[in-house]
Amino acid sequence: MPVVLAFVAVAVAAVNLRAGIASLGPVLSDVLDAFGTSSSYAGLITALPGVLFGVMGLCAVPVARRLGLSRTIVTGMVVSLVGLAVRPWVGTTAVFIVLTGLVVAGIALGNVLIPAWVKNYGGRRTVALMTVYGALLGASGAAGPLSALWFDGDDAWKWTLLVWALPCLVQVLVWVLVAVRTGADFPGGRKTSTDGDAIPSPLPQPTPEEVQALARTSLWRAPTAVFLTLFFGIQAMNAYLQMGWLPQIYVDSGVSRDVGSIALALVGGLNILGGIVMPTVIDRARSLAPFPVLFAVLTAAGYLGILLAPTAAPLVWALMLGLGGFCFPTAIALITARSRSSLVTARLSGFVQPMGYFIAGVGPFLIGLVYGRTGDWTGILVALIAVAVLMGVLGVRAGKDTLIDDELLAAR
C-alpha cells in the first residue's frame, strides 16, 4: 500500500472522529426545543459518546479478528455516515437519539482500531502517523463546534449537524480503497509496510510462544495497562463533559452562545497542538511524570476560573482547559508507546478505550441529572476540580517508562 495512501487514510479518519459529536453541544438546546423535550434528555445525549465508545470498543477487536482491521473500520464509517445524514430530518427525540448512537458507535470502532492499524502498518513511520492522527483529531474537535456559527434561522441546527456527513463520505471512499488493498488484516502476523515491503519493527518482536502468552494473559494483570485505562477514562470524561456542556455552562454564567462555541472550538483546537507535540515528546522524554501533573493543574485552573469569574476572561479559561486537554493525545500516544508488538497494541487499545469510555460516560450523565435538578454549576465545577487532581495522579503512573508486553509476560 502506498505511503501517501496510508497518511491520507489516517488523516481523513482523524478528521471525522470528533466533529460529528462536538458539533452537537452548541446546538443541543435548539435540538431539544425543536422536539419539545425537557433538558433531562440532554444528560442522556451527552452520555452517549462515553457509553457507546465503551460498548463498541469491547466489540471492536473481536469483530476485527473476523473481518480485519480495515474492513471493520470501514463498517464503522458507513454506520456513522448513515447517522449523520439522516438524524437532522427525523421527527422524534427517540429516533434522533438512536441515530446519534449510530454516529457515535461508528466513530468508536475507529477510535479503538486506528491506533492498532497504525502500529500494524506504520513500522518506523508509526510516530509520524500518530502525530498526524493526534493533530487532526484535535482539529476535528475544534471544527465541530464552529459549524454552529455557519448557519442562521430556525433550522440552523439541522445544517450544523448535516454538514459533517460530507467529510464522512470522503473517508468512506478512501477507506474502501484501503480495505480492498489490505484484505482481512489483523495484528499478530507478519507486519507489512505501507509501501508493500516488510518493515522490521524498531522494537524486538515476540517469539511464537510469547505471542500465545501475550494473546491470552489478562490485561488486568498488567499494572500500567490498568492505570492507563483509569487515566484515559478520567481525561475522556473531561473531554466529553466539555464537548457536551461547556457552551451551556458559559451561557448560564452570562456568556453569549457564540463565545461559548468559540471557547469549545479553542479547547478542541489546542488538541491539534497536543497531537503534534505529545507523540514525539513521549517517544523521546526520559520521564513523563511532569506532563500529566502540568495538564491536571491547567485543567483545574480552567474550571476554577469558570467558577469564580466566568465572564471576566472566558477564553482564557478555555485556553487552560485546552492545554489541560493535552492529556488526550498523551493517553492515545501511550497506547502505542507502551506496547512492543502490534498484537498487544490492538489488545491494549481494545482494553483501555472501552473501559475508559465507560468511566467517561458516567460523568455527562450524572451532570445532566444534577444540573436538571439544581440548575446550578457551582457544585459540579468543584467536583471537576477534584477530578482534575485525580487525573494528574493517575497520569504519572500511567506514563511510567515500561512496556506492557513485559508486564504480561512476567504475569503469565
**pLDDT per position as a tens digit, 273-321:** 887 888 778 778 777 778 889 999 999 999 999 999 999 999 999 999 9
List of residues 6+ apart from 104 with CB closer than 8 A:
20, 21, 48, 49, 52, 53, 56, 83
The residue among 174 and 410 whose pLDDT is bigger is 174
Residue 127 has pLDDT above 60, yes or no: yes
pLDDT tens digits for 224-280? 999 999 999 999 888 878 877 888 899 888 998 888 888 888 887 787 788 788 877
Report if pTM > 0.75.
Answer: no
Distance between start and end Cα atoms, the chain: 36
Amino acid in the structure at residue 167: P
pLDDT tens digits for 379-399? 999 999 999 999 999 999 988
Residue 150 has pLDDT above 50, yes or no: yes
Distance from C-alpha of 215 to C-alpha of 45, rounded to nearest angstrom: 36
Mean pLDDT, all residues of the chain: 84
Residue 201 has pLDDT above 50, yes or no: no
Cβ-in-10-Å burial (0-12, 13-18, 19+) of 277 comes to: middle
Go through the domains of the chain in sequence order and give each one's CATH number.
Answer: 3-411 (1.20.1250.20)
Please report the pLDDT score of residue 142 as a whole number. Answer: 76
Three-class SS of 138-190: HHHHHHHHHHHHCCCCCCHHHHHHHCCHHHHHHHHHHHHHHHHHHCCCCCCCC
User: Quick one: how far is CA 50 from the chain centroid?
Assistant: 9
The residue among 120 and 92 whose pLDDT is bigger is 92
Highest mean pLDDT among 32-46, 68-82, 322-336, 341-355: 68-82
